[in-house]
Amino acid sequence: MKVYNPTRIRNVVLLGHSGSGKTTLAETMLFEAGAINRRGTIEEKNTVSDYHSLEKEKGKSIFSSFMNLDWRGHKINLIDTPGTADYIGEVVGALRVADTAIFTLNAENGVEVATDSLWKYTKRYNVPSMFVVNKLDNERSDFWKAVEEAKNHFGREVIVVQYPYSEGNDFHAIIDVLRMTMYEFPEGGGKPDKLPIPDAQKERASQLHQELVEAIAENDETLMDIYFEQGELDEEQMQKGLHLSLLNGNLNPVFCASAAKNMGTGRIMGFLDDVAPNPLEANKPKTEDGEEFDLDPEGKPVMFLFKTHSESHVGDLIYFKVYGGTVTAGMDLINESNGNSVRLGNLFLTEGHKRIEVSEVNTGDIAAVVKLKDSEVNDTLHEKGSPVKLDPIHFPPTTIRTAVKLTKEGDEDKLGSALHQIHREDPSLTIEHSQELKQILIHGQGEEHLNTIEDALRNRFGLDIEFETPKIPYRETITSQVRTQYKHKKQSGGAGQYAEVHLLVEPLDENMTVPDDIKVRNVEEHELPWGGKLVFQNCIVGGVIDNRFMPAILKGVMEKMENGPMSGCRARDIRVSVFDGSMHSVDSNEAAFKTAARMAFKNAFMNANPKLMEPVYEITVTVPADFMGDVMSDLGTRRGQIQGMDSEGALQQIKAHVPLEELDHYSTRLKSMTQGSASYTRVFSHYAPVPFDVQERVIKENMELEEA
């Protein structure tokens, strides 16, 4: 297999809304380059990239897939990605290693919601981006509307390089204003004829050419001087200027295609060869310390692991990008994350599910390795004695959760192993074994994401499971102070148990004072693992309780706080003062004082006007202006409190505080009411008191659970 110089490698990620034609574009590029002999289709379920059974069933991409082709001496690594927000983790990982992003726009629908959200990630990772307006053969195709929407959404840097001579059923030719040529395609697509631009299109083509020349010249002082002197730039100068402008994010070129009819893809690949940045130029990673990392083909080997995929009978296939030197099969490297030495197994290039074994992989290239021990996504491997750790992929926060339960006992270990493997392959989800809620929680990116996980657990791992509504991690606290006492006295045969404690239990406040009749001897402030604080005060005088029993009293209080007196939920933000009590010289022990403290605290808590608190999240809803009213009305029904509104390009953002209980399945409802055009993110904000009816319901449910 040919090994390519890094300057002749192009790492390209295909981005776009579901249905915009990314997979078909990839298929056609592979066919045009001779990498495949026959083009597959989504309908026939035989494309190179959508090869998973679930993708064939749903008729769309769910996983990122990797392909490579040679176009006139350049290696183009293509990464096809899902266009649904639920699978954003697959996209973020691909963007981390890509050097150019191609956004596919459906000529009929223009800029769709996923395109907007994906654009943010290309800006975050500083990936040079270009557009392909696809499906120009659709009856309702509207190229100029799509371009105008792109300019409105992404800025005036969006610049036309090509436009269709005609659209819809008559689409058969593209006018290229960079080369000032018309490409006319045969009926079945393929290699076009190069023709002069028709007279009827010369004025428009010349105007767009001039706009392109001026935009290029504006971003390069040398070219600007040439333009002023000569009034024009030649094609070579324009390609150089476009290269710099694309690399710096100053221009985003627009191309035309009908991937399904094999029209326009050859010119796109030629542009990638001639103009798109190579791995040594674009998207340089940062180290964990925030310093830019320069790729060095002559340096020591450095590779970054960015995706894991498991295949039956093979095991984990881990994808990597080489950021320094050359890596070879059998090479020993150090995993910087754990310090372990790992030996590289067989190395492969991939074309969908097909693997092509190679002996070495150069700087800037992307490949996969099997049987790599003790290594995960985000690990950096390097030569011994040359430590480096590249900044990890930062996956977006999850937006939905569910609880998973086995329908029959005995498969607990199998479920744990399955969830661990699924998380290895998809770090955009999180698995939580909640001791507090006594549930296993899966946090994902959307309803469809959870459905994919459920399918894997059932069909891939053979587990009988069901998803159920996750419980809410409520918190308990009090709103008034109470003094209480409890005497624990038990006699059985020989030595008995005796302990008496008097407690002052108060809601914690920053400006609290101590009652005049209490003298504080010692104060302990405990940050609780579940949030909030417990302040524990020893106020014993006269030795009525020995100091050695204080840890037992604290333990008794803490045990009851962990299993709250009111609803079984954890308690927080309380001050407990031990101010009196009694003990017995023979029968008093730690167990007795722990029991007395637990019961005294419970009695005090229930008489101190207890209040149930619920987790409240700050959510940010990104939505087109047309749906603002519907979204805000719906938030009102969810006990949401609007915190502010702002605009982000052509979209609006609503910030609100919403209780977690009201966010179950919110992403599905949001998509439904906005025709799939809105998205949201959420992050924990604070705990707040629940309404009275919610508190009564939770207490009742807890009592029924205890009685069951």
How does pLDDT run across 394-403, given as a tens digit for each residue? 999 999 999 9
Residues of the chain above pLDDT 90, percent: 84
Calculate the average pLDDT of the chain.
94
Residue 219 lies in a domain: no
Whether residues 427 and 554 share a domain: the answer is no
CA distance 157 to 243: 14
> Do strands 360-362 and 380-382 pair parallel, antiparallel, or not at all (unpaired)?
unpaired
Q: Does residue 495 register a pLDDT over 80?
A: no
Residue 228 lies in a domain: no
622 or 162, which is more confident? 162
How does pLDDT run across 262-271, given as a tens digit for each residue? 999 999 999 9
Output the pLDDT for position 679. Answer: 86
Q: Tell me how crowded residue 447 is: count the other CB atoms within 10 A of its CB.
A: 18
533 — pLDDT class (breaks 50, 70, 90): very high
The angle formed by the CA atoms of residues 161, 165 and 167, to the nearest 5 degrees, is 110
Q: At what angle do helices 88-97 and 113-124 cross, to 10 degrees?
A: 40
* Helical segments of 33-132, H only: 53-58, 88-97, 113-124
Mean pLDDT across 384-404: 95
Q: Could you tell me if 64 and 79 are in contact, meaning their C-beta atoms sit under 8 angstroms apart?
A: yes
* Helical segments of 111-234, H only: 113-124, 143-154, 199-218, 221-230
Whether residues 629 and 603 share a domain: the answer is no
Domain containing 314 — which CATH number?
2.40.30.10
Whether residues 43 and 174 share a domain: the answer is yes
Q: Tell me how crowded residue 523 is: count the other CB atoms within 10 A of its CB.
A: 13
Amino acid (1-letter code) at residue 246: L
How does pLDDT run across 497-517, given as a tens digit for each residue? 999 999 999 999 988 999 999
Would the pTM of this model clear 0.85, i.e. be above it?
yes
Q: Does residue 413 register a pLDDT over 90?
A: yes
Whether residues 646 and 531 share a domain: the answer is no
371 — pLDDT class (breaks 50, 70, 90): confident
What are the DSSP E strand ranges found in 286-335?
A: 302-311, 315-324, 326-328, 332-335
The position carrying tokens 């000032």 is 180
> Do strands 574-582 and 533-538 pair parallel, antiparallel, or not at all (unpaired)?
parallel
> Do strands 347-351 and 400-406 pair parallel, antiparallel, or not at all (unpaired)?
unpaired
CA distance 46 to 30: 14
- Domain stop point among 580, 608, 636: 608
The angle formed by the CA atoms of residues 336, 124 and 114, to the nearest 5 degrees, is 120
326 — pLDDT class (breaks 50, 70, 90): very high
DSSP string, 332-350: EEEETTT--EEE---EEEE
Output the pLDDT for position 316. Answer: 87
Mean pLDDT across 57-84: 96
Output the pLDDT for position 678. Answer: 86
Output the pLDDT for position 647. Answer: 84
CA distance 361 to 2: 10
117 — pLDDT class (breaks 50, 70, 90): confident
Output the pLDDT for position 494. Answer: 67
Nearest to 348 by CA among 380, 371, 382: 371
Whether residues 463 and 500 share a domain: the answer is no
How does pLDDT run across 228-241, given as a tens digit for each residue? 888 888 899 999 99
Output the pLDDT for position 421. Answer: 94
Whether residues 589 and 625 share a domain: the answer is no
Whether residues 73 and 184 share a domain: the answer is yes
Which residues form the domain of 515?
476-608
Q: Could you tell me if 653 and 647 are in contact, meaning their C-beta atoms sit under 8 angstroms apart?
A: yes
Starting at the edge strand found earlier in the chain, the sheet holding 74-80 runs 65-71, 74-80, 9-15, 100-106, 129-134, 252-256, 158-160
CA distance 295 to 365: 11
- Domain stop point among 591, 608, 625: 608
Q: Does residue 313 register a pLDDT over 80?
A: no
Residue 279 lies in a domain: no
Residue 456 lies in a domain: yes
Residue 48 lies in a domain: yes
Residues of the chain above pLDDT 70, percent: 99
SS3 427: coil
Nearest to 86 by CA among 429, 405, 352: 429
The angle formed by the CA atoms of residues 226, 229 and 230, to the nearest 5 degrees, is 80
Output the pLDDT for position 65. Answer: 96
The position carrying tokens 């964990």 is 288
Mean pLDDT across 340-349: 95
CA distance 277 to 243: 7
Whether residues 45 and 98 share a domain: the answer is yes
Residue 290 lies in a domain: no
Whether residues 94 and 177 share a domain: the answer is yes
Among 109-113, 196-200, 445-449, name the one with the lowest average pLDDT: 109-113
Handedness of CA 46, 50, 54, 59 (dihedral sign): negative
Q: How many domains does the chain have?
A: 5
Whether residues 173 and 39 share a domain: the answer is yes
Q: Tell me how crowded residue 544 is: count the other CB atoms within 10 A of its CB.
A: 14
How does pLDDT run across 584-599, given as a tens digit for each residue? 988 999 999 999 999 9
Output the pLDDT for position 583. Answer: 95
Tell me the sheet residues that pair with 163: 175
How does pLDDT run across 329-339, given as a tens digit for each residue? 999 999 999 99
Whether residues 137 and 21 share a domain: the answer is yes
- Domain stop point among 608, 639, 661: 608
Residue 538 lies in a domain: yes
- Long-range pairs for 606-609 at CB < 8 Å and ≥24 separation? 606/565, 606/566, 607/482, 607/484, 608/478, 608/479, 608/480, 608/481, 608/482, 608/505, 608/506, 608/507, 609/478, 609/479, 609/480
Residue 164 lies in a domain: yes
Whether residues 266 and 359 share a domain: the answer is no
Q: Could you tell me if 474 and 612 are in contact, meaning their C-beta atoms sit under 8 angstroms apart?
A: yes
Domain containing 644 — which CATH number?
3.30.70.240
DSSP string, 628-659: HHHHHHHHHHTT-EEEEEEEETTEEEEEEEEE
CA distance 481 to 87: 50
User: How far apart, in Å, are the Cα atoms of 398 and each of 125, 174, 188, 580?
Assistant: 20, 42, 45, 49
> Do strands 9-15 and 100-106 pair parallel, antiparallel, or not at all (unpaired)?
parallel
CA-based radius of gyration for the chain: 32
